[in-house]
Amino acid sequence: MSPTAPILEARELSVRHALNNSNSHSPRDLEAVHKLSLSVQDGEILAIVGESGSGKSSLARALVGLLPAAGGSIYYRGKAVSTLDSNARNSWRREVQLIFQDAHSALSPRRRIQQCLEEPLTLQAIPSGHEARLRIEAALADVNLGTDLLQRYPHQLSGGQKQRVALARALLSQPALIIADEPMAALDVSEQARLLNLMIRLRAEKNITFLLIAHDLAVVQQLADRIGVMYLGRLLELAPAQSFFQAAAHPYSQALLAASQRSWSCSTENGPVFPGDTPSALTPTTGCVFHRRCDQALKHCSNKVPEQQFLAQAGSGGEPHQVLCHLYSEAHKR
């Protein structure tokens, strides 16, 4: 990886959602992300995986400024976003783009595709005209779409076409980093393969970095350089892809891999992947957030929060393999 500052970095980042409850006089907050730290390096594809409700989308929105941070800091090219002047803040907003999971909702149903694509250029003070037309045509070509769909409305496109239009709109800003929130979730297998190949090509040809929010480990295995695993707002594991798929460390990561392998083999086995119910983020558990469902839990997992451990993994290319688990603490090893 590049020795320079990461494109984007979160340090002890927390995100909370205020909940309105008419039956309660005291407002409550749901902590979607809890003191999470990670960095996105130039040219890599970093995948964040985890069950629904683990905080992945909240993290993505906070990293682009769509959700406020309740704690911690976000750094853009080594500088805290909160301290950026207007020019640097505009660069952050232009260089770090977000693609939403639901491309249909992200495109206005009342606007033609051309109007949807002209909007980011207008925000960059590029008026509609010859230059804007050339930029739009180039972005559509980059995602293997033709200009014939510019006069269509979103409902006239297939799901895969809409997702590629969303990618083209992100490309218009000439980004360094694209955060893609479950971009393949609503696509069929052929469209997933098309989008996967596009991401690989865009990284190779344009040096675009990707932060991929995903749940399909088969897709992640084909794309990612590193993998982060989230559960109830915590980053439980962060590892090079090779290390993760060869020797996932956290019991939750191991269970995710086991579930994926059952799916890949079309197994008819039934039964839950994890014992017990997912705890509510409104009533945080003490100790390790996964201990109630963990079949390897130790006595102190229920009352002591684990510390980050760094594992020595062969073939990791020098990148650390991090895990938030008591099983790897020095005290447990002794």
DSSP 292: G
Count of C-beta atoms within a 10 Å radius of residue 79: 14
Residues in CB range of 19: below 8 A, 6 or more apart: 27, 28, 29, 30, 282
Q: Which helix (H) or strand (E) holds 228?
A: strand 226-231
| pLDDT for res 36 | 97
Amino acid, res. 92: W
- The Cα–Cα gap between 192 and 188 comes to 6
Dihedral sign for Cα atoms in the order 230, 235, 241, 243: negative
Predicted confidence pLDDT, tens digits, the chain (334 residues): 445 889 999 999 999 998 876 565 556 789 999 999 999 999 999 999 998 889 999 999 999 999 999 999 999 999 999 999 999 998 999 999 999 988 888 899 999 999 999 998 888 877 778 888 999 999 999 999 999 999 999 999 999 999 999 999 999 999 999 999 999 888 888 989 999 999 999 999 999 999 999 988 988 999 999 999 999 999 999 999 999 999 999 999 999 999 887 764 444 444 446 666 677 777 778 899 999 899 999 999 999 999 999 997 544 456 789 999 999 987 666 5
| pLDDT for res 21 | 64
| pLDDT for res 334 | 53
Cα angle, residue 59 at apex, residues 144 and 102 outer, rounded to 5°: 40
DSSP letter string, 38-69: EEE-TT-EEEEE--TTSSHHHHHHHHTTSS--
| pLDDT for res 79 | 95
| pLDDT for res 126 | 76
| pLDDT for res 40 | 96
| pLDDT for res 312 | 73
Residues in CB range of 187: below 8 A, 6 or more apart: 159, 160, 163, 195
Count of C-beta atoms within a 10 Å radius of residue 296: 13
pTM over 0.85, yes/no: yes
User: Residue 237 — left, alpha, or beta (φ > 0 → left; ψ -120 to 50 → alpha)?
Assistant: beta
3-state secondary structure of 16: strand
- The Cα–Cα gap between 117 and 132 comes to 9
